[in-house]
């Protein structure tokens, strides 16, 4: 414990040293130890006696540590007076950071870079700088802070892996100024008053005598042969630098396939080469489900804030049929030569996007009702439209439903989404004449197609499965009664 009289002397000595410090800014030993104080972090660890020994007479010396510009110095001091850190915003404002590629999911190893910004562009915090297209989705890379793009470390279209440096960003500490809104256009000038129309002239008197006949010329009329008539001058030719569009031009251009399209092509071809695909068809009378939707759609929308569509009916019917025919929900493990039966139902719903076809998964459909299914499909559809689908949203799936009817498709044979064993294809609803109770009636009908892997699923199971979906959609009471 320091005696009171010694602490008072020490305080007066510190006061004198600080006053003298203001007068000795150019002293060499001070500048050499402290360096240029331009905002770099400095830690003072009891080194004032070492810098100003003349002002600490009678204080015994001992060694201490001082940190300047991340360098450790051994200095002489009587004791550790204080530890202070000086920091200004200049260092962090002008700091250049390197942004790396985010980590991918386990099933993704690399991706292609597509730049949204160029060198010298100003970006705000969390603004997208580039997108990395992988086999399954696109990963957006935002700016970690507001700043200016210093350098792009990967060319456009280059391949990157997780952790690869992407670009350098110089922080500016403030978001870029937004453009001022354009000034409102001046109000249109008031229209000038239109002069009143002049009164119509007075009617001329009706002539009573015939007008004189013009004299006929006795000179012969000059005539020219057709060969003497010169054609009109052709229009001036276009400058050589401008391309003149021609009719029937047979031009072509090449566009590189993105990774998602390459992966889709690879997987579809693998499905054709691996599976023994066979397709069976049926048709569904949509009268009852249409009537149910028309009666309850307003109440459904008011309670759940969701529109009642046909997709939820087919997804629920598919889950019901998959539980009745579990072999359709199974898959062959080619590695171990085993059949894997899944006790859960995860249905992939095919969604078309500008980058290609994606299949987000609605999980545990067997435990959902119509409202839960509609909500899950709506959320996944919004993610797909905003390009926010993650790998986890599309991973897995035991069965797929593809709805080509939204584009007007009448008939088609879908391709299995490996490693699944079957896929259901929905089509458009058209009014067709059908026989009902011995009479011809016009009903809204839909063709459905089930493509399945014949290595695992026999025709009996496939036809029974499709008829189960037909029964559940045509009469939803089948789901309630578990028939």
Active-site residues, by number, are 454, 458
Residue 83: strand pairing partners? 45
Whole-angstrom distance, CA of residue 300 vs CA of residue 277: 39
**In this structure, how many other beta carbons lie within 10 angstroms of the beta carbon of residue 365?**
24
Q: Give me the torsion for CA of 68, 71, 75, 79, rounded to 10°.
A: 70
CA–CA distances in Å: residue 480 to residues 198, 344, 447, 473: 84, 20, 24, 12
- Strands annotated E in 264-373: 277-285, 331-333, 338-340, 347-349, 351-353, 356-358, 361-362
Q: Are 48 and 34 in contact (CB under 8 A)?
A: no
Whole-angstrom distance, CA of residue 400 vs CA of residue 420: 8
Which residues have C-beta within 8 Å of that of residue 293, sequence separation ≥ 6? 308, 309, 310
Query: 3-state class of 195 per DSSP?
Result: coil
Please identify which residue in the block is written with the tokens 């299949």.
359
User: 217 is written with which tokens?
Assistant: 């010329």
């Amino acid at each position: 414990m320091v005696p009171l009289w010694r602490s008072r002397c020490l305080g007066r000595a510190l006061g004198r040293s600080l006053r003298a410090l203001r007068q000795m800014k150019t002293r060499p030993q001070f500048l050499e130890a402290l360096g240029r104080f331009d905002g770099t972090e400095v830690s003072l660890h009891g080194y004032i006696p070492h810098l100003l020994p003349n002002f600490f007479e009678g204080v015994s010396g001992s060694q201490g540590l001082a940190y300047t510009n991340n360098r450790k110095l051994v200095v002489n001091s009587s004791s550790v007076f204080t530890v202070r850190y000086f920091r200004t915003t200049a260092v962090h404002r002008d700091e250049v950071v390197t942004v790396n590629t985010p980590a991918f999911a386990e099933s993704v190893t690399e991706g292609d870079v597509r730049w949204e910004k160029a060198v010298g562009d100003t970006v705000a915090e969390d603004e997208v700088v580039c997108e990395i297209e992988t086999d399954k989705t696109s990963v957006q890379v935002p700016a970690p802070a507001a700043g200016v793009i210093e350098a792009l470390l990967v060319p456009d279209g280059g391949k990157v892996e997780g952790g690869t440096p992407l670009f350098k960003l110089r922080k500016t500490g403030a978001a870029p100024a937004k453009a001022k809104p354009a000034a409102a256009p001046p109000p249109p000038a008031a229209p000038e008053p239109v002069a009143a129309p002049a009164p119509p002239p007075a009617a001329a008197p009706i002539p009573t005598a015939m007008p004189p006949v013009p004299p006929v010329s006795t000179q012969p009329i000059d005539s020219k042969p057709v060969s003497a008539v010169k054609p009109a001058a052709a229009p001036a030719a276009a400058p050589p630098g401008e391309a003149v569009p021609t009719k029937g031009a047979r031009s072509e251009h090449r566009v590189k396939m993105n990774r998602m399209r390459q992966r889709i092509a690879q997987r579809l071809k693998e499905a054709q080469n691996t599976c023994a695909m066979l397709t069976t068809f049926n048709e569904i009378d949509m009268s009852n489900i249409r009537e149910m939707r028309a009666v309850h759609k307003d109440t459904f929308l008011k309670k759940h804030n969701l529109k009642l569509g046909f997709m939820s009916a087919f997804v629920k019917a598919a889950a019901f049929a998959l539980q009745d025919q579990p072999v359709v929900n199974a898959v062959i493990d080619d590695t171990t030569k085993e059949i894997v039966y899944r006790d859960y139902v995860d249905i992939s719903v095919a969604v078309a996007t500008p980058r290609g076809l994606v299949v987000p998964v609605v999980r545990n459909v067997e435990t959902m009702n119509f409202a839960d299914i509609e909500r899950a499909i709506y959320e996944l559809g919004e993610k797909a439209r905003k390009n926010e689908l993650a790998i986890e949203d599309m991973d897995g799936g035991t069965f797929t439903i593809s709805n080509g009817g939204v584009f007007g498709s009448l008939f088609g044979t879908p391709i299995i989404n490996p490693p699944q064993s079957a896929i259901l294809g929905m089509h458009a609803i058209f009014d067709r004449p059908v026989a009902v109770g011995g009479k011809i009636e016009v009903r809204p009908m839909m063709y459905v197609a089930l493509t399945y892997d014949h290595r695992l699923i026999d025709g009996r199971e496939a036809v029974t499965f499709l008829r189960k979906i037909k029964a559940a959609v045509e009469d939803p009471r089948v789901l309630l009664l578990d028939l």
